[in-house]
Chains A and B, each alone.
Chain A
Protein backbone atom coordinates (compact mmCIF):
# COMPACT_ATOMS: atom_id res chain seq x y z
CA UNK A 1 0.00 0.00 0.00
CA UNK A 2 1.26 3.47 -0.78
CA UNK A 3 1.01 6.13 1.89
CA UNK A 4 0.48 9.81 1.35
CA UNK A 5 1.00 12.16 4.28
CA UNK A 6 0.87 11.52 7.99
CA UNK A 7 -2.82 10.65 8.02
CA UNK A 8 -2.61 8.30 5.48
CA UNK A 9 -4.05 7.44 2.36
CA UNK A 10 -3.38 4.74 0.13
CA UNK A 11 -5.65 3.40 -2.46
CA UNK A 12 -5.23 -0.18 -3.45
CA UNK A 13 -7.18 -1.38 -6.41
CA UNK A 14 -5.11 -4.39 -7.19
CA UNK A 15 -5.91 -7.69 -8.69
CA UNK A 16 -5.50 -9.43 -5.37
CA UNK A 17 -7.96 -7.08 -3.75
CA UNK A 18 -10.45 -7.67 -6.53
CA UNK A 19 -10.16 -11.40 -6.07
CA UNK A 20 -10.60 -11.05 -2.32
CA UNK A 21 -13.56 -8.78 -2.90
CA UNK A 22 -15.20 -11.23 -5.25
CA UNK A 23 -14.78 -14.08 -2.81
CA UNK A 24 -16.06 -11.95 0.06
CA UNK A 25 -19.11 -10.71 -1.80
CA UNK A 26 -20.05 -14.09 -3.12
CA UNK A 27 -19.88 -15.62 0.33
CA UNK A 28 -21.32 -12.68 2.27
CA UNK A 29 -24.49 -13.32 4.21
CA UNK A 30 -27.22 -10.79 3.54
CA UNK A 31 -27.81 -8.96 6.75
CA UNK A 32 -28.60 -5.44 5.63
CA UNK A 33 -31.92 -3.67 5.40
CA UNK A 34 -31.08 -2.72 1.85
CA UNK A 35 -29.42 -4.19 -1.20
CA UNK A 36 -26.32 -3.09 -3.06
CA UNK A 37 -27.86 -0.76 -5.67
CA UNK A 38 -26.11 2.35 -4.31
CA UNK A 39 -22.65 0.80 -4.17
CA UNK A 40 -20.04 0.57 -6.88
CA UNK A 41 -19.27 -3.11 -6.72
CA UNK A 42 -16.36 -2.70 -9.15
CA UNK A 43 -14.40 -0.58 -6.69
CA UNK A 44 -12.31 -1.59 -3.74
CA UNK A 45 -10.65 1.10 -1.65
CA UNK A 46 -8.24 0.83 1.23
CA UNK A 47 -7.84 4.05 3.16
CA UNK A 48 -5.82 4.80 6.25
CA UNK A 49 -7.44 7.42 8.42
CA UNK A 50 -8.34 8.76 11.83
CA UNK A 51 -11.59 7.85 13.53
CA UNK A 52 -13.92 10.80 14.17
CA UNK A 53 -17.00 8.84 15.33
CA UNK A 54 -18.29 5.29 15.79
CA UNK A 55 -22.06 4.91 15.82
CA UNK A 56 -23.36 1.66 17.35
CA UNK A 57 -27.00 1.69 16.23
CA UNK A 58 -29.79 0.21 14.15
CA UNK A 59 -30.43 -0.28 11.32
CA UNK A 60 -26.66 -0.05 10.69
CA UNK A 61 -23.60 0.83 12.68
CA UNK A 62 -21.26 3.20 10.88
CA UNK A 63 -17.71 4.43 11.25
CA UNK A 64 -16.66 7.98 10.41
CA UNK A 65 -13.03 8.78 9.75
CA UNK A 66 -10.85 11.42 8.07
CA UNK A 67 -8.68 10.13 5.26
CA UNK A 68 -6.71 11.64 2.43
CA UNK A 69 -7.45 10.37 -1.05
CA UNK A 70 -5.13 10.03 -4.03
CA UNK A 71 -5.58 13.70 -4.89
CA UNK A 72 -4.33 14.81 -1.49
CA UNK A 73 -7.77 15.85 -0.30
CA UNK A 74 -8.83 14.94 3.22
CA UNK A 75 -12.47 13.93 3.41
CA UNK A 76 -14.62 12.66 6.22
CA UNK A 77 -15.82 9.18 5.28
CA UNK A 78 -18.89 7.43 6.66
CA UNK A 79 -18.94 3.69 6.09
CA UNK A 80 -21.66 1.35 7.23
CA UNK A 81 -21.63 -2.18 8.55
CA UNK A 82 -24.54 -4.31 9.72
CA UNK A 83 -26.50 -3.85 12.94
CA UNK A 84 -25.16 -4.28 16.51
CA UNK A 85 -26.60 -7.78 16.74
CA UNK A 86 -24.85 -9.06 13.64
CA UNK A 87 -21.64 -7.23 14.44
CA UNK A 88 -21.58 -8.61 17.98
CA UNK A 89 -21.54 -12.10 16.51
CA UNK A 90 -18.46 -11.03 14.55
CA UNK A 91 -16.66 -9.82 17.65
CA UNK A 92 -17.36 -6.12 17.18
CA UNK A 93 -18.57 -3.96 20.08
CA UNK A 94 -19.68 -0.49 21.01
CA UNK A 95 -16.11 0.07 22.23
CA UNK A 96 -14.31 -1.23 19.13
CA UNK A 97 -13.15 2.29 18.18
CA UNK A 98 -12.43 5.53 19.93
CA UNK A 99 -12.03 8.98 18.43
CA UNK A 100 -8.46 9.48 17.28
CA UNK A 101 -7.73 5.84 16.51
CA UNK A 102 -5.67 5.44 13.36
CA UNK A 103 -7.24 2.65 11.32
CA UNK A 104 -6.91 1.13 7.87
CA UNK A 105 -10.30 0.62 6.28
CA UNK A 106 -11.10 -1.58 3.31
CA UNK A 107 -14.39 -0.45 1.79
CA UNK A 108 -16.71 -0.40 -1.17
CA UNK A 109 -17.72 3.18 -2.06
CA UNK A 110 -21.07 4.43 -3.35
CA UNK A 111 -21.45 5.22 -7.04
CA UNK A 112 -21.91 8.97 -6.74
CA UNK A 113 -18.39 9.75 -5.55
CA UNK A 114 -19.40 10.87 -2.06
CA UNK A 115 -17.18 9.63 0.78
CA UNK A 116 -19.73 7.00 1.73
CA UNK A 117 -19.42 3.27 1.56
CA UNK A 118 -19.71 -0.19 3.01
CA UNK A 119 -16.91 -1.33 5.25
CA UNK A 120 -15.44 -4.73 4.45
CA UNK A 121 -12.69 -4.95 7.05
CA UNK A 122 -10.67 -2.67 9.26
CA UNK A 123 -7.22 -2.94 10.79
CA UNK A 124 -7.17 -1.54 14.33
CA UNK A 125 -4.29 0.37 15.95
CA UNK A 126 -3.07 -2.82 17.64
CA UNK A 127 -2.77 -4.56 14.27
CA UNK A 128 -5.79 -6.83 14.69
CA UNK A 129 -8.46 -6.99 12.01
CA UNK A 130 -12.23 -6.83 12.30
CA UNK A 131 -14.21 -8.29 9.42
CA UNK A 132 -17.65 -7.04 8.39
CA UNK A 133 -18.40 -9.40 5.52
CA UNK A 134 -18.00 -13.03 4.67
CA UNK A 135 -18.59 -15.91 7.06
CA UNK A 136 -18.83 -14.83 10.67
CA UNK A 137 -16.08 -16.01 13.02
CA UNK A 138 -16.84 -19.42 14.48
CA UNK A 139 -17.19 -18.28 18.05
CA UNK A 140 -17.15 -14.59 18.76
CA UNK A 141 -17.05 -13.87 22.50
CA UNK A 142 -20.16 -12.19 23.89
CA UNK A 143 -19.64 -8.64 25.16
CA UNK A 144 -19.80 -8.12 28.93
Chain B
Protein backbone atom coordinates (compact mmCIF):
# COMPACT_ATOMS: atom_id res chain seq x y z
CA UNK B 1 0.00 0.00 0.00
CA UNK B 2 2.85 2.33 0.90
CA UNK B 3 4.50 1.59 -2.43
CA UNK B 4 1.27 2.25 -4.29
CA UNK B 5 0.84 5.61 -2.53
CA UNK B 6 4.43 6.54 -3.27
CA UNK B 7 3.95 5.85 -6.99
CA UNK B 8 0.70 7.77 -6.92
CA UNK B 9 2.57 10.73 -5.49
CA UNK B 10 5.29 10.44 -8.12
CA UNK B 11 2.73 10.39 -10.92
CA UNK B 12 0.86 13.34 -9.45
CA UNK B 13 4.01 15.43 -9.23
CA UNK B 14 5.04 14.39 -12.74
CA UNK B 15 1.62 15.40 -14.05
CA UNK B 16 1.92 18.87 -12.53
CA UNK B 17 5.53 19.43 -13.59
CA UNK B 18 4.92 18.16 -17.08
CA UNK B 19 1.65 19.97 -17.64
CA UNK B 20 1.54 22.06 -20.74
CA UNK B 21 1.73 25.74 -19.99
CA UNK B 22 0.96 27.87 -23.01
CA UNK B 23 0.75 31.53 -23.91
CA UNK B 24 2.03 33.17 -20.75
CA UNK B 25 1.90 36.99 -20.58
CA UNK B 26 4.40 37.18 -17.76
CA UNK B 27 5.11 36.00 -14.27
CA UNK B 28 2.61 36.83 -11.52
CA UNK B 29 3.58 39.75 -9.31
CA UNK B 30 4.12 37.31 -6.44
CA UNK B 31 7.00 35.71 -8.37
CA UNK B 32 8.42 39.07 -9.46
CA UNK B 33 8.35 40.45 -5.93
CA UNK B 34 9.48 37.31 -4.09
CA UNK B 35 12.85 37.66 -2.32
CA UNK B 36 15.58 35.81 -4.18
CA UNK B 37 18.30 36.01 -1.58
CA UNK B 38 18.18 32.26 -0.94
CA UNK B 39 18.44 31.27 -4.60
CA UNK B 40 21.26 29.03 -5.81
CA UNK B 41 24.47 30.75 -6.94
CA UNK B 42 24.67 32.13 -10.44
CA UNK B 43 26.11 29.70 -12.97
CA UNK B 44 29.33 30.97 -14.53
CA UNK B 45 29.10 33.01 -17.73
CA UNK B 46 25.51 32.00 -18.27
CA UNK B 47 22.47 34.27 -18.55
CA UNK B 48 20.40 31.87 -20.62
CA UNK B 49 16.74 31.59 -19.76
CA UNK B 50 13.56 33.62 -19.85
CA UNK B 51 13.64 36.78 -17.78
CA UNK B 52 10.77 39.00 -16.66
CA UNK B 53 11.01 42.47 -15.09
CA UNK B 54 7.25 42.67 -14.44
CA UNK B 55 5.82 46.17 -14.27
CA UNK B 56 9.26 47.74 -13.90
CA UNK B 57 9.99 46.86 -17.50
CA UNK B 58 7.12 48.87 -18.94
CA UNK B 59 8.11 52.41 -17.90
CA UNK B 60 5.16 53.98 -19.68
CA UNK B 61 5.81 57.60 -18.75
CA UNK B 62 9.36 57.33 -20.03
CA UNK B 63 12.55 58.19 -18.20
CA UNK B 64 13.89 61.49 -17.07
CA UNK B 65 16.71 62.10 -19.51
CA UNK B 66 19.85 64.17 -19.48
CA UNK B 67 19.28 67.70 -20.85
CA UNK B 68 18.68 67.98 -24.58
CA UNK B 69 21.06 69.76 -26.91
CA UNK B 70 19.72 72.27 -29.43
CA UNK B 71 19.91 69.51 -32.04
CA UNK B 72 17.65 67.32 -29.89
CA UNK B 73 15.18 70.16 -29.32
CA UNK B 74 14.88 70.64 -33.05
CA UNK B 75 14.66 66.90 -33.67
CA UNK B 76 11.90 66.39 -31.10
CA UNK B 77 9.85 69.44 -32.07
CA UNK B 78 7.71 67.32 -34.38
CA UNK B 79 7.37 64.40 -31.96
CA UNK B 80 3.87 64.17 -30.48
CA UNK B 81 4.12 61.55 -27.72
CA UNK B 82 1.32 59.79 -25.86
CA UNK B 83 3.07 59.86 -22.51
CA UNK B 84 5.32 62.02 -20.42
CA UNK B 85 5.38 65.77 -19.90
CA UNK B 86 4.77 66.53 -23.59
CA UNK B 87 1.82 64.11 -23.98
CA UNK B 88 -0.81 65.16 -26.52
CA UNK B 89 -4.40 64.12 -27.10
CA UNK B 90 -4.77 60.56 -28.28
CA UNK B 91 -5.82 61.53 -31.81
CA UNK B 92 -2.72 63.69 -32.22
CA UNK B 93 -0.10 61.12 -31.21
CA UNK B 94 2.43 60.49 -33.99
CA UNK B 95 4.59 57.91 -32.21
CA UNK B 96 5.90 55.80 -35.12
CA UNK B 97 5.66 52.65 -33.01
CA UNK B 98 2.10 52.88 -31.80
CA UNK B 99 0.50 54.66 -34.77
CA UNK B 100 2.04 52.93 -37.79
CA UNK B 101 3.87 49.96 -36.22
CA UNK B 102 7.39 51.04 -37.12
CA UNK B 103 9.88 48.93 -35.15
CA UNK B 104 10.47 50.16 -31.64
CA UNK B 105 14.14 49.80 -32.48
CA UNK B 106 17.03 49.84 -30.08
CA UNK B 107 17.45 51.06 -27.37
CA UNK B 108 13.72 51.72 -26.98
CA UNK B 109 13.29 47.99 -26.61
CA UNK B 110 15.20 48.11 -23.32
CA UNK B 111 13.93 51.54 -22.31
CA UNK B 112 10.23 50.81 -22.63
CA UNK B 113 8.07 47.69 -23.01
CA UNK B 114 10.86 45.50 -21.71
CA UNK B 115 8.51 42.55 -21.50
CA UNK B 116 9.75 39.00 -20.90
CA UNK B 117 12.68 38.01 -23.11
CA UNK B 118 14.69 34.86 -23.65
CA UNK B 119 18.48 34.76 -23.77
CA UNK B 120 20.15 32.08 -25.88
CA UNK B 121 23.92 31.62 -25.92
CA UNK B 122 25.77 30.02 -28.82
CA UNK B 123 29.56 29.64 -29.17
CA UNK B 124 29.87 33.01 -30.94
CA UNK B 125 26.65 34.92 -30.23
CA UNK B 126 24.20 35.84 -27.55
CA UNK B 127 20.67 36.04 -28.92
CA UNK B 128 17.92 37.92 -27.13
CA UNK B 129 14.38 36.99 -28.16
CA UNK B 130 11.84 39.57 -27.07
CA UNK B 131 8.16 38.98 -26.45
CA UNK B 132 7.46 42.60 -27.36
CA UNK B 133 7.26 42.78 -31.16
CA UNK B 134 8.44 39.15 -31.25
CA UNK B 135 11.85 40.40 -32.38
CA UNK B 136 15.41 39.33 -31.70
CA UNK B 137 18.83 40.86 -31.38
CA UNK B 138 22.19 39.30 -32.21
CA UNK B 139 25.08 40.18 -29.91
CA UNK B 140 28.41 38.98 -31.28
CA UNK B 141 30.76 37.41 -28.76
CA UNK B 142 33.44 36.24 -31.20
CA UNK B 143 35.77 39.05 -30.30
CA UNK B 144 35.01 41.28 -33.27
CA UNK B 145 35.16 45.04 -32.92
CA UNK B 146 32.18 47.28 -33.58
CA UNK B 147 32.05 48.47 -37.21
CA UNK B 148 33.37 51.87 -38.26
CA UNK B 149 30.74 54.27 -39.57
CA UNK B 150 28.08 51.60 -40.10
CA UNK B 151 24.83 52.04 -41.99
CA UNK B 152 22.10 52.68 -39.45
CA UNK B 153 19.92 49.73 -38.44
CA UNK B 154 16.69 49.67 -36.44
CA UNK B 155 18.41 47.50 -33.81
CA UNK B 156 21.99 48.66 -34.31
CA UNK B 157 25.18 46.59 -34.15
CA UNK B 158 26.08 44.87 -30.89
CA UNK B 159 29.10 43.12 -29.44
CA UNK B 160 29.30 41.56 -26.00
CA UNK B 161 31.92 40.32 -23.57
CA UNK B 162 32.05 38.80 -20.11
CA UNK B 163 33.48 41.32 -17.72
CA UNK B 164 33.57 38.66 -15.04
CA UNK B 165 31.84 35.32 -14.50
CA UNK B 166 28.48 36.92 -13.72
CA UNK B 167 28.48 40.17 -15.73
CA UNK B 168 27.83 40.32 -19.48
CA UNK B 169 28.42 43.73 -21.07
CA UNK B 170 26.93 44.71 -24.43
CA UNK B 171 27.97 47.72 -26.50
CA UNK B 172 25.78 48.93 -29.34
CA UNK B 173 26.17 51.61 -32.03
CA UNK B 174 24.73 52.27 -35.48
CA UNK B 175 21.12 52.77 -34.41
CA UNK B 176 18.49 54.45 -36.56
CA UNK B 177 17.62 57.95 -35.42
CA UNK B 178 14.08 57.65 -36.75
CA UNK B 179 13.26 55.70 -33.60
CA UNK B 180 12.30 57.33 -30.33
CA UNK B 181 14.00 56.46 -27.08
CA UNK B 182 10.72 56.00 -25.26
CA UNK B 183 7.01 56.76 -25.10
CA UNK B 184 7.61 60.32 -23.99
CA UNK B 185 9.29 61.24 -27.28
CA UNK B 186 12.92 61.59 -26.27
CA UNK B 187 14.98 61.68 -29.48
CA UNK B 188 18.41 60.25 -30.23
CA UNK B 189 20.99 60.59 -32.96
CA UNK B 190 22.76 57.92 -34.99
CA UNK B 191 25.85 58.69 -32.92
CA UNK B 192 24.24 57.11 -29.87
CA UNK B 193 26.32 54.60 -27.94
CA UNK B 194 24.55 52.21 -25.59
CA UNK B 195 26.01 50.02 -22.89
CA UNK B 196 23.92 47.26 -21.32
CA UNK B 197 25.20 45.44 -18.26
CA UNK B 198 23.53 42.14 -17.39
CA UNK B 199 24.65 41.12 -13.93
CA UNK B 200 23.43 37.74 -12.73
CA UNK B 201 23.22 38.17 -8.99
CA UNK B 202 22.21 34.55 -8.41
CA UNK B 203 20.38 31.76 -10.23
CA UNK B 204 17.01 33.51 -10.16
CA UNK B 205 17.94 37.21 -10.36
CA UNK B 206 19.41 39.27 -13.19
CA UNK B 207 20.01 43.01 -13.00
CA UNK B 208 20.04 45.22 -16.09
CA UNK B 209 21.80 48.58 -16.21
CA UNK B 210 21.58 50.69 -19.38
CA UNK B 211 23.74 53.75 -20.01
CA UNK B 212 23.26 56.06 -23.00
CA UNK B 213 25.90 58.36 -24.43
CA UNK B 214 24.75 60.59 -27.28
CA UNK B 215 26.64 63.90 -27.21
CA UNK B 216 24.84 65.13 -30.33
CA UNK B 217 21.46 64.92 -28.57
CA UNK B 218 22.24 65.06 -24.83
CA UNK B 219 24.61 67.19 -22.82
CA UNK B 220 25.89 64.22 -20.81
CA UNK B 221 25.54 60.42 -20.57
CA UNK B 222 22.83 59.05 -18.32
CA UNK B 223 21.60 55.74 -16.95
CA UNK B 224 17.83 55.26 -17.44
CA UNK B 225 17.91 51.66 -16.19
CA UNK B 226 19.91 51.16 -13.06
CA UNK B 227 20.03 47.57 -11.79
CA UNK B 228 16.51 46.81 -12.96
CA UNK B 229 15.72 43.38 -11.45
CA UNK B 230 14.59 40.55 -13.70
CA UNK B 231 13.23 37.25 -12.44
CA UNK B 232 14.02 33.90 -14.06
CA UNK B 233 10.88 32.26 -15.43
CA UNK B 234 10.27 28.50 -15.40
CA UNK B 235 11.81 26.59 -18.28
CA UNK B 236 8.37 25.73 -19.69
CA UNK B 237 7.26 29.37 -19.86
CA UNK B 238 5.70 29.91 -23.30
CA UNK B 239 5.68 33.59 -24.25
CA UNK B 240 2.63 35.22 -25.79
CA UNK B 241 2.92 37.12 -29.03
CA UNK B 242 2.84 40.87 -28.69
CA UNK B 243 2.92 42.23 -32.21
CA UNK B 244 1.95 45.60 -33.60
CA UNK B 245 -0.29 44.89 -36.58
CA UNK B 246 -1.11 47.83 -38.89
CA UNK B 247 -4.54 46.32 -39.47
CA UNK B 248 -5.25 46.29 -35.76
CA UNK B 249 -3.86 49.78 -35.25
CA UNK B 250 -6.02 51.20 -38.04
CA UNK B 251 -9.07 49.54 -36.51
CA UNK B 252 -8.24 51.02 -33.12
CA UNK B 253 -7.74 54.50 -34.59
CA UNK B 254 -11.03 54.31 -36.46
CA UNK B 255 -13.00 53.17 -33.42
CA UNK B 256 -11.27 55.02 -30.59
CA UNK B 257 -8.44 57.47 -31.31
CA UNK B 258 -9.95 59.44 -34.17
CA UNK B 259 -13.27 59.78 -32.34
CA UNK B 260 -11.75 60.90 -29.06
CA UNK B 261 -10.41 64.18 -30.38
CA UNK B 262 -11.51 66.98 -28.15
CA UNK B 263 -12.12 70.69 -28.11
CA UNK B 264 -8.89 72.40 -27.13
Residue of B nearest to A111 (CB): B262
| Other-chain residue from B23, B251, B255 in contact with A142 (beta carbon distance below 8 A) | B23
Known: A30-B83, A35-B82. A55 touches B61 (CB 8 A): no
B8 at the interface (CB under 8 A from A): no
Chain B residues with CB below 8 A from A39, complex form: 260
Complex-state Cα separation, A59 to B90, whole angstroms = 12
Complex-state Cα separation, A139 to B27, whole angstroms = 9
Interface of B is mostly: loop
Known: A29-B55, A88-B240, A89-B26. A59 touches B260 (CB 8 A): no
Q: In the complex, identify which listed stretch (B121-129, B166-174, B222-230, B242-250) lies at the interface while the others stay far away.
A: B242-250
Distance from A84 Cβ to chain B, minimum over Cβ atoms (Å): 7
Instruction: Scan A67-102; emit 1 where CB is below 8 A from any B CB, else 0.
Output: 000000000001010011110110000000000000
Distance from B20 Cβ to chain A, minimum over Cβ atoms (Å): 8
Q: Please, how many residues of chain B have a CB less than 8 angstroms from a CB on the other chain? A: 45
Q: How many A-B residue pairs have CB under 8 A?
A: 119
Complex-state Cα separation, A142 to B248, whole angstroms = 23
Instruction: Scan A117-144; emit 1 where CB is below 8 A from any B CB, else 0.
Output: 0000000000000000001101110111
Residue of A nearest to B82 (CB): A34
A112 at the interface (CB under 8 A from B): yes
Instruction: Scan A51-75; emit 1 where CB is below 8 A from any B CB, else 0.
Output: 0000101111010100000000000
Distance from A114 Cβ to chain B, minimum over Cβ atoms (Å): 5
Q: Is the CB of A140 within 8 A of B82?
A: no
A24 at the interface (CB under 8 A from B): no
Q: Please, how many residues of chain A have a CB less than 8 angstroms from a CB on the other chain? A: 38
Complex-state Cα separation, A35 to B41, whole angstroms = 41
Near A by CB (< 8 A), chain B positions 82-133 give 82-84, 87-91, 93, 95, 97-98, 115, 131
Chain B residues with CB below 8 A from A34, complex form: 82-83, 87, 90, 93, 98
Q: Is the CB of A114 within 8 A of B260?
A: yes
Residue of B nearest to A37 (CB): B89
22 of the cross-chain contacts (CB-CB < 8 Å) are A29-B58, A30-B58, A30-B60, A34-B87, A34-B93, A37-B90, A38-B90, A57-B248, A58-B242, A58-B243, A62-B252, A80-B256, A84-B25, A85-B25, A89-B25, A89-B28, A110-B262, A112-B263, A116-B259, A139-B30, A140-B28, A144-B22
Given contacts A30-B60, A135-B29, 12 further A-B contacts (CB under 8 A): A33-B82, A34-B83, A34-B90, A35-B83, A38-B91, A58-B245, A78-B259, A85-B115, A89-B26, A110-B260, A111-B263, A143-B23
Q: Enumerate chain A interface residues (CB-CB to B < 8 A).
A: 29-35, 37-39, 55, 57-60, 62, 64, 78, 80, 83-86, 88-89, 110-112, 114, 116, 135-136, 138-140, 142-144
